[in-house]
């Protein structure tokens, strides 16, 4: 999305308006406009001529109907520098009492901290507005769809529907034939039913979704470059239906909204839950499969029979490490407005996230670097978190551009039963309380007598991405 970033930042405050609006105290009590008229006024603002739009604004201000704050914020991003845009800014300032000028990101962040609600049928109107970008958005954002989202916070991510194309059963090759990979570059790795598969970040950065079959199981890897989280989901639902996913082009709180191709329901990439569309309320939550970020050399050494994505995916893409998000990964802030912030950790601090029996917990990678084996309890489940080396990217492109950022670290979590573990003397080993060695594998911790302790499905993420949906999360090392 880097090439789209110029569309997302407004660089100057607006000048004087060409259409005057009488001053009105922001504290005036609201007289809600009747619902049917409110719906008509939304469309007057977005689809009518200038005079009709001006009349609509005057009616909204006369009623001081604060529901239209959400509408006007949407209009800010949709309009260029025009008299209509200036009118919207003045109306926003009078309705809200805020003085944020014409900066859409500032208004969006502020709104996310408020309790305002939009007019009825706002979601359908928003779909109509977004259909100017891509007609497909109108089919995703419908007023009659059930949703668990605060729909005002859905934003366009800068690309059309499926503008970031998913990989569907992409060509794979044996590890020994993957000559395009360097030894220290990051890959996502997983093992399903004994079959190992690696997904290099240099390819996943360009696609963000991979629908595959591994070990006979349908699997979807959903990777949100913005929130730094790659999660592997089992594609088969409890009723036997198989879902595959794509990128909708829409975001919610800087997290991608993926969609399933069967019903075109929007899903929260981070939680694996349907959030807008036909499957909302179904009780479905996708099953997380354990996935690890590691270096290619470490993955190949541990899984010499692994398969890996071929460089020749069928798409004409620049599969260069760090492209196109290197600058974003190196930056300390988000690309889109973010209202849900916590100062417990830096905004883009990297964490290992666990969700056990309905309870979330974040393990900062900085803490794991200092304490690579953590014995803990979450939701009455004794567990152990095992961390390996950090995975860094330090490259120079042909044009001289230098990139230096952290891709994350190799982290896994397991149930530990009644055991307490410490780091072993050999790589990928732990020592239990009796001094016995256990082996760290993709499926489980393997004990000296053949006993096993199952692995838990955690994943990496930026702190802001996790906190946006789990504000009550525990944080290891912070009371």
Q: Which of 288, 328, 324 is nearest to 456 (CA)?
A: 288
Model pLDDT, residue 443? 95
Give the structural domain span for 116. 14-120
Please return the burial class of 156, using the count of CB atoms within 10 Å of its CB with bins 0-12, 13-18 and 19+: buried
> How large a percentage of the chain has pLDDT more than 90?
86
Distance of CA 217 to the CA centre of its chain: 24
Lowest mean pLDDT segment, chosen from 91-95, 236-240, 308-312: 236-240
- Digit-coded pLDDT (tens) for 255-286: 999 999 999 999 999 999 999 999 999 999 99
Is 387 a member of any domain?
yes
Confidence class for position 28, pLDDT limits 50, 70, 90 = very low
Residue 248 has pLDDT above 80, yes or no: yes
Residue 278 domain-assigned (yes or no) = no
Helix ranges, 365-462 (H): 365-370
CA distance 414 to 412: 7
**pLDDT at 331 exceeding the cut of 80:** yes
Q: Which of 249, 252, 254, 242 is nearest to 275 (CA)?
A: 252
Helical (H) or strand (E) element with 214: strand 209-214
**In-domain check, residue 382:** yes
Per-residue pLDDT band for 83 (boundaries 50, 70, 90) equals low
Q: With CA atoms as reference, report the closest residue to 448 among 426, 422, 429.
A: 429
| pLDDT surpassing 60 at residue 81 | no
The reported pLDDT for the residue numbered 30 is: 59
In a domain, 375, yes or no: yes
Identify whether 235 is part of a domain.
no
Q: Is residue 452 reached through a cis peptide bond, with omega within 30 degrees of 0 on the bond before it?
A: no
Among 120, 150, 182, identify where a domain stops.
Answer: 120
Cα separations in angstroms, 170 against 200, 225, 258, 451: 13, 20, 19, 36
Confidence of residue 10 (pLDDT cuts 50, 70, 90): very low
* CA 320 to mean position of chain CA atoms: 22
User: Whole-number mean pLDDT of the chain?
Assistant: 91
State the pLDDT at residue 400.
Answer: 84
Q: Is 108 contained in some domain?
A: yes
Confidence check: pLDDT of 19 > 60: no
Where does the pLDDT of residue 82 fall: very low under 50, low under 70, confident under 90, or very high at 90 and above?
low
Q: What is the mean pLDDT of residues 229-250?
A: 96
φ and ψ of 91, to 5 deg: -65, -40
Residue where a domain terminates, one of 120, 141, 158: 120
205 domain-assigned? no
Predicted confidence at residue 5, as pLDDT, reads 36
* pLDDT tens-digit readout, 120-151: 999 999 999 999 999 999 999 999 999 999 99
* pLDDT tens digits, one per residue of 89-101: 999 999 999 999 9
State mean pLDDT over 158-177. Answer: 97
- 270-297 in b/e form (b: 16+ CB < 10 A) is bbbbbbbbebbeeebebebbbbbbbbbe
* Alpha-carbon distance values, 240 to 35, 124, 195 (Å): 42, 32, 22
In whole angstroms, give the CA distance from residue 472 to residue 305.
42
Name which of 128, 114, 159 is nearest 340 in CA terms.
114
347 within some domain? yes
CB 321 within 8 A of CB 393: yes
Q: 3-state class of 309 per DSSP?
A: strand
Q: What's the domain count of the chain? A: 2
**What would the pLDDT profile of 177-218 be if each residue is shown by its tens digit?**
999 999 999 999 999 999 999 999 999 999 999 999 999 999
Residue 447 has pLDDT above 80, yes or no: yes
pLDDT of 8 > 90? The answer is: no
pLDDT reported for residue 2: 36
Q: What percent of the chain has pLDDT over 70?
A: 93
Domain boundary (96, 120, 144) is at 120
* CA-wise closest residue to 156 among 127, 180, 179, 194: 127
């Amino acid at each position: 999305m880097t090439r789209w970033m110029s569309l997302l930042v407004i660089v100057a405050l607006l000048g004087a308006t060409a259409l005057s609006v009488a001053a009105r105290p922001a504290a005036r009590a609201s007289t809600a406009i009747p619902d049917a008229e409110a719906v008509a006024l939304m469309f007057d603002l977005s689809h009518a001529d200038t005079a009709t739009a001006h009349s609509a604004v005057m009616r909204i201000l006369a009623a001081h109907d604060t529901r239209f704050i959400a509408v006007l914020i949407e209009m800010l991003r949709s309009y260029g520098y025009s008299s209509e845009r200036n009118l919207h800014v003045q109306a926003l300032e009078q309705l809200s009492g805020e003085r944020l000028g014409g900066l859409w990101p500032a208004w969006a962040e502020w709104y996310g901290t408020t309790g305002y609600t939009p007019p009825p049928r706002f979601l359908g109107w928003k779909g109509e507005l977004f259909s100017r970008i891509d007609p497909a958005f109108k089919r995703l954002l419908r007023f009659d769809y059930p949703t668990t989202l605060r729909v005002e916070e859905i934003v366009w991510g800068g690309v059309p529907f499926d503008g970031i194309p998913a990989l569907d059963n992409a060509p794979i090759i044996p590890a020994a034939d993957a000559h395009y990979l360097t030894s220290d570059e990051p890959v996502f790795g997983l093992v399903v039913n004994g079959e190992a598969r690696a997904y290099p970040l240099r390819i996943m950065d360009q696609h963000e979704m991979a629908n595959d079959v591994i070990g006979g199981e349908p699997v979807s890897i959903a990777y949100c470059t913005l929130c730094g989280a790659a999660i592997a989901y089992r594609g088969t639902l409890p009723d036997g239906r198989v879902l595959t996913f794509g990128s909708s082009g829409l975001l919610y709180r800087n997290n991608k909204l993926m969609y399933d191709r069967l019903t075109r329901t929007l899903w929260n990439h981070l939680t694996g839950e349907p959030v807008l569309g036909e499957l909302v309320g179904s009780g479905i939550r996708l099953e997380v499969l354990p996935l690890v970020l590691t270096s290619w050399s470490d993955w190949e050494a541990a899984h010499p029979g692994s398969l890996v994505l071929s460089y020749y995916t069928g798409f004409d893409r620049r599969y260069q490490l760090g492209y196109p998000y290197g600058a974003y990964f190196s930056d300390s802030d988000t690309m889109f407005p973010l209202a849900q912030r916590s100062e417990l950790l830096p905004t883009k601090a990297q964490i290992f996230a666990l969700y056990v029996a309905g309870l979330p917990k974040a393990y900062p990678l900085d803490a794991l670097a200092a304490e690579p084996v953590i014995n803990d309890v979450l939701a009455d489940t004794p567990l152990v978190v095992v961390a390996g080396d950090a995975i860094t990217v330090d490259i120079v492109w042909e044009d001289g551009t230098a990139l230096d950022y952290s891709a994350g670290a190799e982290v896994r979590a397991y149930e530990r039963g009644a055991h307490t573990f410490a780091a072993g003397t050999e790589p990928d080993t732990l020592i239990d309380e009796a001094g016995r060695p256990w082996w760290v594998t993709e499926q489980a911790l393997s004990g000296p007598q053949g006993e096993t302790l199952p692995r838990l499905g955690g994943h990496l993420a930026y702190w802001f991405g996790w906190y946006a949906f789990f504000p009550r999360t525990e944080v290891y090392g912070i009371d």
